[in-house]
Amino acid sequence: MSDWVEVAALGDLPPGTHRTVEVDGAQVAVFNLDGVCYAIEDVCTHDGGVLTGGEVHGDVVVCPRHGASFCIRTGKVLGPPAYEDVATFPVRVEGGFVQVRDARWD
């Protein structure tokens, strides 16, 4: 079972912001959407580029390279050229800190 990785103090990740952290070798983008945190793998399934740096519209992130779009809440691909979802990760707030873990291999 993977360990929880501390991303930031909740106060340092206000609504509308995001952070990237490494979790068990994977780059993970953690977004605060209206006070609820979500985590997705920071990789576009179209060509392997990073998603952070792309525009965020509500709960959608748009890949800055070719415009594929993904739901931050679910990881579902919403628009081409990507056709595969991105991985999502469990998120919790513990002791005032946002934490993420990679449960894919548990």
Give the separation between CA 55 and CA 25, rounded to whole angstroms.
25
In a domain, 55, yes or no: yes
What domain count does the chain have? 1
CATH of residue 33: 2.102.10.10
In a domain, 9, yes or no: yes
In a domain, 73, yes or no: yes
In a domain, 105, yes or no: no
Task: Tell me the average confidence (pLDDT) per consecutive run of 10 residues in the chain, 106 residues long.
Answer: 88 95 93 97 95 95 96 98 97 96 85
In a domain, 89, yes or no: yes
pTM of the model: 0.94
In a domain, 72, yes or no: yes
Give the separation between CA 54 and CA 65, rounded to whole angstroms.
8
- Please give the residue range of the domain that contains residue 52: 5-100
Q: Which residues contact 14 (CB under 8 A, 6 or more apart)?
A: 32
